[in-house]
């Protein structure tokens, strides 16, 4: 077993890129995904992890499992490697001394928020801080929140139910409200106002499992003894709306997405008593004063984007 508490500095012989590759493989759960996130080849990621293992004299990854799993030594090393990367990045940010921060900022974005036009907010942060490297990761809100808490991400833009509280170790700023609505086609001949029991036998077009809104919908229908039949799963809201417009089923999407969709004239909101899922958009981040100006800039640009009137395409 690797003695991680030895007075000998194991990290002295390591390359930070090797440590970063190891952590990214664990976070991405595959070599190919890690290579894409790091913008290098898969063979480069493999070499870096192997080089780290050689430096430590132990095996960190169990490559015989899919997805790739950590060995016992790998589990012991992971959090220390995270802290090493975070400490180095914090040092670079802190050493800026009033200049544009230098380093890497890892930002998560909830799946449901990727269809906000992120080009301008991210571009604005890059222009404001040209020496920063931004790494974006998408995921479910609760997973991203945990990654911020553990230090795997520096910040994230997430969607949380209004009543949810942030973990004590995480700091956050509410950016705005998100309203989820049930969407149907204008030509399905159904009443605009319906009850939960009217949804029996409906085909649903929803996000894959792991989506908090889908889980809330399922719980609500179960309490009403209504089965939820999912016919199509897709992360892409525009695809969901296209299928709804073809009368393939109903969907549950942010009203903001509907208002910005070129298909909105063919769709309508179905008012269903008992279906009410108020959410809040948050930017959350770990405690680091040097991140304040970066997160503050991102918040301002995201708020501007959220306030942009719906526009057709």
Q: Phi and psi of 202, rounded to 5°?
A: -70, 140
- Is the pLDDT at 91 greater than 90? The verdict is no
Q: Phi and psi of 69, rounded to 5°?
A: -120, 160
**Domains, the chain, ranges and CATH?**
1-94 (1.10.10.10), 177-278 (3.40.190.10)
Q: Which two tokens stand for residue 81?
A: 């490697």
CA distance 239 to 115: 12
Q: Please, which pLDDT band fits residue 248 given cuts at 50, 70 and 90? A: very high
Cα-based angle 74, 80, 84 (whole degrees, multiple of 5): 130
3-state SS record for the chain: CCCCCCCCCHHHHCCHHHHHHHHHHHHHCCHHHHHHHHCCCHHHHHHHHHHHHHHHCCCCEECCCCCCEECHHHHHHHHHHHHHHHHHHHHHHHCCCCCCCCEEEEEEEEHHHCCCCCHHHHHHHHHHCCCEEEEEEEECHHHHHHHHHHCCCCEEEEEEECCCCCCCCCEEEEEEEEEEEEEEECCCCCCCEECHHHHCCCEEEECCCCCHHHHHHHHHHHHCCCCCEEEEECCCHHHHHHHHHCCCCEEEEEHHHHHHCCCHHHEEEEEECCCCCEEEEEEEECCCHHHHHHHHHHHHHHHHHHHCCCCCC
Q: What is the pLDDT of residue 254?
A: 87
What average pLDDT does this structure show over 288-299? Answer: 78
- Is the pLDDT at 155 greater than 50? The verdict is yes
**pTM of the predicted model as reported, rounded to 2 decimal places:** 0.66
What average pLDDT does this structure show over 210-227? Answer: 88
What average pLDDT does this structure show over 82-100? Answer: 65
Q: Please, which pLDDT band fits residue 99 given cuts at 50, 70 and 90? A: low
Q: What is the pLDDT of residue 13?
A: 43
Q: What is the pLDDT of residues 11-48, one digit of tens each?
A: 444 587 888 889 888 887 888 888 887 878 999 899 99
Q: What is the pLDDT of residue 76?
A: 87
Q: Phi and psi of 161, rounded to 5°?
A: -55, 145
Choose the weakest-confidence range: 113-127, 172-186, 187-201, 262-276.
187-201
Query: The dihedral of CA 147, 153, 154, 156: what is its sign?
Result: negative
**Range among 66-80, 95-109, 216-230 rated most confident:** 216-230
HSE toward the beta carbon, residue 257, CA cutoff 13 A: 23
Q: Please, which pLDDT band fits residue 262 given cuts at 50, 70 and 90? A: very high
HSE toward the beta carbon, residue 205, CA cutoff 13 A: 22
Q: What is the pLDDT of residue 97?
A: 55
**Range among 35-44, 132-141, 225-234, 277-286 rated most confident:** 225-234
């Amino acid at each position: 077993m690797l003695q991680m508490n030895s007075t000998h500095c194991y990290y002295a012989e390591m390359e930070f890129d090797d440590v970063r590759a190891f952590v990214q493989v664990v976070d991405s759960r595959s070599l190919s995904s890690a290579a894409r996130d790091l913008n290098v080849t898969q063979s480069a990621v493999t070499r870096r992890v192997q080089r780290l293992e050689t430096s430590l004299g132990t095996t960190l990854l169990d490559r015989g499992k899919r997805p790739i799993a950590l060995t016992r030594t790998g589990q012991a090393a992971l959090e220390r490697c995270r802290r090493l990367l975070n400490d180095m990045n914090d040092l670079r940010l802190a050493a800026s001394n009033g200049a544009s921060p230098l380093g890497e900022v890892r930002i998560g974005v909830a799946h449901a928020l990727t269809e906000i036009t992120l080009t301008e907010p991210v571009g604005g942060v890059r222009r404001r801080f040209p020496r920063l490297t931004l790494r974006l990761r998408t995921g479910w809100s609760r997973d991203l929140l945990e990654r911020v808490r553990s230090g795997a991400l520096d910040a994230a833009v997430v969607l949380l139910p209004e009543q949810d509280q942030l973990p004590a170790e995480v700091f956050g700023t509410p950016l705005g409200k998100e309203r989820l609505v049930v969407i149907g086609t204008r030509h399905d001949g159904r009443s605009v106002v319906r009850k939960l029991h009217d949804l029996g036998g409906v085909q649903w077009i929803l996000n894959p499992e792991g989506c908090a809104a889908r889980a809330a919908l399922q719980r609500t229908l179960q309490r009403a003894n209504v089965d939820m039949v999912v016919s199509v799963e897709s992360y892409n809201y525009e695809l969901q709306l296209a299928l709804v417009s073809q009368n393939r089923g109903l969907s549950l999407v942010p009203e903001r997405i509907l208002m910005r969709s070129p298909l909105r004239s063919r769709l309508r909101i179905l008012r269903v008593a008992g279906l009410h899922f108020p959410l809040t958009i948050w930017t959350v981040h770990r405690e680091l004063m040097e991140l304040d100006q970066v997160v503050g800039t991102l918040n301002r640009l995201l708020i501007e984007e959220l306030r942009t009137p719906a526009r057709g395409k």
